[in-house]
Amino acid sequence: MSDGDCLFCKIVDRRIPGQIVFESPRIVAFKDIHPQAPVHLLLVPTEHIPGVHAVDPRNAALVGELVTAANRLAGEMGIADSGFRLVVNSRADGGQTVDHLHLHLLGGRRMAWPPG
């Protein structure tokens, strides 16, 4: 199920281009167009879910699939051993700019804390 106006649904549906690096029946991963690290991928479910705030028992297993795919991609990108960051933003005050559940995979450099 996709949302016709959603940027990430358009990438998943190939209506707009994206640098897709991974695809499974329920997940698509692509390069962020404004990377914050040498490796910066976005992992999104193929089903339109507005954000982590909309995860419920019906679709909760998908979060585990996103993390598992992120671990796999971290290995493929050569950042699994040195370390990486996974980020999920929720709603406007949490920094979410696209209303589609997505996981940021960042790595390839030392991450500062707090982020900034």
Annotated catalytic, 102? Answer: yes
> Other CB atoms closer than 10 Å to residue 106's CB: what's the count?
21
Phi, psi at 93, each rounded to 5°: -70, -20
The residue annotated as part of the active site, out of 48, 100, 102, 104, is 102
Contact 106, 61 (CB under 8 A): no
Q: Catalytic residue numbers? A: 102
